[in-house]
Amino acid sequence: MKTYEIINHTADIGLKVFGKNLEALFLNAAQAMFEIILEKTEKESLFKKQESKKFLLNKQGSNLEEIFVFWLSELLYLFNSEGLIMNKADIHKLDSNCIQAEIIGRIFNTDLERIKTEIKAVTYHELEVKKTERGYEAKTERGYEAKVIFDV
Amino acid sequence: MSDIWQGPLDKIDNWRWRIPKSYKSGMRVPGVIYADEKLLKDIRQDKASEQVANVAFLPGIVKYSLAMPDIHWGYGFPIGGVAATDVGQEGVISPGGVGFDINCGVRLLKTNFQYDEIKDKIKDLIYVLFSDIPSGVGSKGDIRVSQKEEREILVKGAGWAVDKGYGTKEDLECTEEYGAMSGADPLAVSERAYERGKAQSGTLGSGNHFLEIQLIDQLYDSRLCDDLGLVLGQITVMIHSGSRGFGYQVCDDYVKSMIRCLSKYHINVPDRQLACAPVNSTEGKQYLAAMKCAANYAWANRQCLMYLTRKSFQRVFNKSWESMGMQLIYDVAHNIAKIEKYTVDGKEKTLCVHRKGATRAFGPGHPALPDRYKRMGQPVIIPGDMGRNSYLLVGTQKAMEETFGSTCHGAGRVKSRSAALRTIDANRLIKELEAKNILVKASGRGTIVEEAPEVYKDVNEVVDVVANAGIARRVCRMRPLGVIKG
């Protein structure tokens, strides 16, 4: 099942993400963001040999949409400062006021992979995080949906 | 982008269209878009016009929310937007009205080469420039600075680079704000911004940033060309870059903190990306002081890029850059907010002018201009796409009266990156450009496709509008010979 789709935007990149619950929505959004940033590579098996790094993330906000932007912005910052590419994350707490998570990933290695798109920032323009009508229990995995535009 | 914008665009004259204040409740002033009928069709293809209307919500906005003919859909502000707010009437400043790439801008330098003298060397030049100028995403430069020096860059801007020997005093005279805005406060900048900025001085960046070798293919005003020492067939170099990760982080930090200001100052805007605070509030002043740091960082960066360019030419031709006549014509910012004075309804007012994808275009006699440009007006540099043209213009008195001393900034996108990647073949594109004698080197093939000429409006049409509307005057036109893309 497709977890995200790219939506058209004249100058930037828009993203629509789906998840059966909030945690899945956040994880799928992060994965989609890294797929936009990084070029696909055939050397993926080599990543396994790389040491994995852990980072703790803890952000407060005043609503779910803000938390969603904070989450992606933090991951983008970790990528830009530490070179961290998220492989997985354990989300310990997630609600409309805060997110606490442990991010596990590899460090970007220019010998193994290339950057495809530089994302400058996560914007609030047309931002949406909402529960879809079908809800959690539907057979489809689309319980939550989010829309976000990246400045590239 | 399949949804055509259906809102009202009332014709004012052949070059201006009004979105009436009544279009949306909450608009404080009307919107005005500069375009001709043909460009207007493109403009209706995305949500840029809606964004022009949204900007009209900003507290203290004066006269109208403006858009230039290269307008397209951005986030918050449209790209190509100009908005001035009255500082004395609780006018606001919005980080989204400047954008993430603070002081993204362009500089143009001339050479004393004619095309015939250099045509066999274009390939060498492009390869040397490509290897000597760090480009691409997250590129890191050879110009390494300590944290103390980084603070100096934020205050001194291009002047820092000149002090280091990367240029001359004359370069500063030919740079908007003389290469540094005063009032930059390094303490208003987060540790994160320092972290992201420290290794990126003297790097080109990616996306639409570029370095281009060009030749002048048309003169429009022979007197101005004489004054500037420009002739047909002459080689020029254009550099387009900004404040890199440093500026992105400054903007990001302040958009996030200013969202809180919306409720604090009871501001109603239809898009959170328009988060803002009164220019005179603590938050407004802090952002402005941080924005100036990023602006100065960008001017230092373009100065370093020009230094590397001059060195590359020296390496290829084995001559000094001075003897090759590689003087800077001018450097302009096209993502910035400035505090400027204008006469509005007969009264002089201090305004905060946001130029988001728009260029300052001060007319003749403006006190901010150096003596050499006082008579002709400020040089304005308009980069086009890599297959067509770029322009050198000058500002006009009419721009001072109508557009807060502003004009367009480029061609303006019409096609999204994803649409470009779906429909354009990189090999075919490179061949087509080669057939036009344009050599392109890029860090990634994706960039070439995403930046293909057909994703942009025709810059010739955009410049026609600003010239016909009188908000800039054409000096000369260039066409690309060699392009380096990030």
Query: Treating both helix axes as pointing N-terminal to C-terminal, what angle do B282-317 and B122-132 enclose, rounded to 10 degrees?
Result: 130
User: What is the pairing mode between strands B439-442 and B473-485?
Assistant: parallel
A interface test, pick of B1, B5, B45, B75 with most A CB neighbours within 10 Å:
B75
Give B236-250 pLDDT, tens digit per residue: 999 999 999 999 999
Question: Is the pLDDT at B205 greater than 80, yes or no?
Answer: no
Residue with tokens 């025709």: B458
C-alpha triplet A9, A11, A14: angle, nearest 5°: 35
**Distance in Å, alpha carbon of A139 to nearest chain B alpha carbon:** 30
**Distance in Å, alpha carbon of A88 to nearest chain B alpha carbon:** 23
Whether A35 and chain B come into contact, CB under 8 Å, resolves to no
Whether A110 and chain B come into contact, CB under 8 Å, resolves to no
- The average pLDDT across B95-118 equals 97
Residues 326-385 of B with CB under 8 A from A: none
- Are A124 and B101 in contact (CB < 8 Å)? no
Q: Residue B18: what are its φ and ψ, rounded to 5°?
A: -110, 135
Chain A residue numbers touching B99 (CB-CB < 8 A): 151
- Are B417 and A13 in contact (CB < 8 Å)? yes
Whether A148 and chain B come into contact, CB under 8 Å, resolves to no
Contact B325, B125 (CB under 8 A): no
Locate the chain B residue with the closest alpha carbon to A126. B271
Residue A32 CB neighbour total at 10 angstroms: 22
The two tokens of residue B252 are: 């990001």
Residues 64-123 of B with CB under 8 A from A: 72-76, 79, 96, 99-101
Burial of B13 (0-12, 13-18, 19+ CB in 10 A): exposed
Which sequence spans correspond to the domains of chain A?
Answer: 4-40+51-151
A interface test, pick of B417, B423, B447, B457 with most A CB neighbours within 10 Å:
B417
* Candidates B137, B272, B273; nearest CB to A115: B137
pLDDT at A135: 52
Question: Is the pLDDT at A80 greater than 70, yes or no?
Answer: yes
CA distance B77 to B96: 7
Chain B residue numbers touching A81 (CB-CB < 8 A): 192, 195-196
Query: Treating both helix axes as pointing N-terminal to C-terminal, what angle do A64-82 and A22-37 enclose, rounded to 10 degrees?
Result: 40
**Distance in Å, alpha carbon of A95 to nearest chain B alpha carbon:** 19
User: Distance of CA A133 to CAs A63, A140, B384, Å?
Assistant: 20, 11, 46
- The average pLDDT across B206-212 equals 84
- Are A10 and B415 in contact (CB < 8 Å)? yes
Whether A104 and chain B come into contact, CB under 8 Å, resolves to no
Fold classified for A4-40+51-151? Archease, Possible Chaperone; Chain: A; domain 1 (3.55.10)
Chain A residue numbers touching B252 (CB-CB < 8 A): 73, 121-122
Residue B439 CB neighbour total at 10 angstroms: 18
Residue A83 CB neighbour total at 10 angstroms: 15
E strand residue ranges, B197-259: 210-219, 234-241
Whether A10 and chain B come into contact, CB under 8 Å, resolves to yes
Whether B140 and chain A come into contact, CB under 8 Å, resolves to no
Give A98-143 pLDDT, tens digit per residue: 999 999 999 998 888 888 888 999 999 999 999 987 654 455 556 8
% pLDDT > 90, chain B: 88
- Are B195 and A118 in contact (CB < 8 Å)? no
Helices (H), B230-368: 244-264, 282-317
Contact B393, B463 (CB under 8 A): yes
Residue B435 CB neighbour total at 10 angstroms: 8
Question: Is the pLDDT at B257 greater than 80, yes or no?
Answer: yes
**Distance in Å, alpha carbon of A99 to nearest chain B alpha carbon:** 16
Residues of B acting as catalytic residues: 409
* Candidates A8, A120, A126; nearest CB to B419: A8
Whether A107 and chain B come into contact, CB under 8 Å, resolves to no
What's the maximum distance between 2 C-alpha atoms anywhere in chain A? 45
CA distance B385 to B456: 7
- Are A125 and B444 in contact (CB < 8 Å)? no
**Distance in Å, alpha carbon of B456 to nearest chain A alpha carbon:** 10
Question: Is the pLDDT at A50 greater than 60, yes or no?
Answer: yes
Half-sphere exposure of A56 (CA within 13 A, CB side): 4
Chain A with chain B: Cβ pairs closer than 8 A: 95
Whether A36 and chain B come into contact, CB under 8 Å, resolves to no
Q: What would the DSSP string read from start to end of B127-187?
A: HHHHHHS--STT---S----HHHHHHHHHHTHHHHHHTTSS-HHHHHTBGGGG--TT--GG
Whether B245 and chain A come into contact, CB under 8 Å, resolves to yes
Residue B137, C-beta contacts closer than 8 angstroms, at least 6 positions apart: A115, A117, A118, B205, B206, B443, B486
Question: Is the pLDDT at B142 greater than 70, yes or no?
Answer: no
Give B60-105 pLDDT, tens digit per residue: 999 999 999 999 999 999 999 999 999 999 999 999 999 999 999 9
- Are A81 and B137 in contact (CB < 8 Å)? no
Average pLDDT of chain B is 94
- Are A117 and B205 in contact (CB < 8 Å)? no
Q: Residue A59: what are its φ and ψ, rounded to 5°?
A: -135, 140
pLDDT at A41: 80
Q: Which has more pLDDT, B205 or B250?
A: B250
Question: Is the pLDDT at B1 greater than 50, yes or no?
Answer: no
Q: Which has more pLDDT, B185 or A1?
A: B185
Give B442-482 pLDDT, tens digit per residue: 877 788 899 999 999 999 999 999 999 999 999 999 999 99
